[in-house]
Amino acid sequence: MRILLAGLVMLGTPAALGGVEPPARVTSDSKEYCTELAVRLAALPGSREEPARSLAADGIHLCETGHTRTGVAKLRRAIRAARGGD
């Protein structure tokens, strides 16, 4: 069992990946990031159409009421929808 656990731990190390660390995934759940996403969404041509418009409204409301993580998720979905990806 210990050998299996040690092997699993080694798979996640940079040495197991040829010495290259995987790129960092940056996530943020701040009100500032909500604002940044809302501004980015507003610049997209499909931002005023459904479902992007209602997703954005929900996301902004969630961010303003302290539910930033869920609000960011909604705003990201709104951006995908405005680009035609949802």
pTM: 0.68
d(CA 82, CA 41): 7
Distances (CA, A) of 75 to 19, 20, 64: 36, 33, 13
- Helix (H) or strand (E) holding 76, with range, is helix 68-83
Q: Please check the confidence at residue 11 and state whether its pLDDT lies above 80.
A: no
Task: Kindly report, residue by residue over 63-84, the tens digit of the pLDDT.
Answer: 999 999 999 999 999 999 999 8
- Residue 49: helix, strand or coil by DSSP? coil
Q: Is the pLDDT of residue 39 over 70?
A: yes
- Poorest-pLDDT segment among 14-23, 26-35, 53-62, 65-74: 14-23
How many Cα atoms sit within 13 Å of 54 on the Cβ side? 2
